[in-house]
Structure 1
Amino acid sequence: MATLRITLRAGERIFVNGAVMRVDRKTHLEFMNDVTFLLESHVMQAEDATTPLRQLYFIIQLMLIDPAGAAEARTMFDRTYPGLLAAFTSAEIRSGIQDVVDLVHRERNFEGLKRLRSLLPMEEVVLAGEWTFPTDIKTPARPAVAAGAR
């Protein structure tokens, strides 16, 4: 595995394997092996999880911040995402959610959060009612189906 180097500013926090660390001055951390971490700038507060995708983000975040409760959060994730796939009609959002599901199931939670963050602006548009179904899409002709062939 390659070494991962992270730079933190004075007063910034990082969540590492469930522990919260705050640095008092600018510092660099090098992770020499696999580690579960989340930067403070990527942490969503519970009161900010006000939309369906933000709630899903919060659940994945729990897996990273609290490894001891990760199994419970994973169960919650597995119960939550099918409803989101059914609720959204936007192909982009549905595809993005499926990407997130695939990443989480491969235990790539940090990348799942990153992908989910990219969907949040689209969700805002949909929830604001500004998204409309494109009218210039042509439905392909369905092939004829032979019924009662002998």
Structure 2
Amino acid sequence: MALKLSLRPEEKLVINGAVIANGDRRANLIVHNKASILREKDIMQQEEANTPARRIYFPIMLMYMDPSSSSQYYDEFVLRMTEFMGAVSTPEVLDMCVEVSKAVMDRNYYKALVQCKKVLKFEADRLNLSYSDE
């Protein structure tokens, strides 16, 4: 099944490690095979991994973008997830963390990122931080 992406003017995305920038008009792309794709809004720079949940998201993102080196980032993910789960007592959030961990163990990194966004939202709400998933 093909993936259709609608890009806004000037929007960037990463496909299998290549940074693609859209021009000055809206564009549609259709990807016909499996590829690691992240939109600009989903890409986190290392210096942005500055909260506990963001420190979980970042190594998952790296595993997704570079699956051949995923073992290099896995230990950091485990450490950060363990710290986070030890500090949180909300059952719903702990369930989210379990779902993220399951997806990572299954090497379904995109699903893990989607689940982790729920954890990011929880953290932002709890710490009164701004959070946007748009």
Task: State the TM-score bracket (shorter-chain normalisation).
Answer: 0.7 to 0.9
Task: State how far apart, in whole Å, the 2-side matches of 1:32 and 1:23 are.
Answer: 19
Q: Which residue in 1 is equivalent to 2:58? A: 58
Q: Which residue in 2 is equivalent to 1:34? A: 34
Structure showing greater radius of gyration is: 1
Task: State how far apart, in whole Å, the 2-side matches of 1:127 and 1:16 are.
Answer: 33
Question: Deviation at 1:125?
Answer: 4.3
1:11 counterpart SS class:
coil
Question: Deviation at 1:56?
Answer: 0.5
The letter of the residue matching 2:2 is: T
Question: Deviation at 1:87?
Answer: 2.1
Task: State how far apart, in whole Å, the 1-side matches of 2:74 and 2:31 are.
Answer: 25
What percent identity do the matched residue pairs reach? Answer: 28
Question: Deviation at 1:113?
Answer: 1.4
Runs of 5+ consecutive residues of structure 1 not aligned to the other structure: 129-150
The letter of the residue matching 1:85 is: M
Structure 1 residues 99, 22: CA separation in 2 closer, same or farther (over 3 Å shift)? same
Under a length normalisation based on structure 1, what TM-score does the superposition of the two structures give? Answer: 0.74
Q: 1:1-150 residue pairs with structure 2 within 5 A?
A: 2-24=1-23, 25-127=25-127
2:60 counterpart SS class:
helix
The letter of the residue matching 1:89 is: S
What's the C-alpha RMSD, in Å, of the aligned pairs? Answer: 1.9
Contact 2:52–2:80 (8 Å) recurs in 1 = no
Question: Deviation at 1:13?
Answer: 1.0
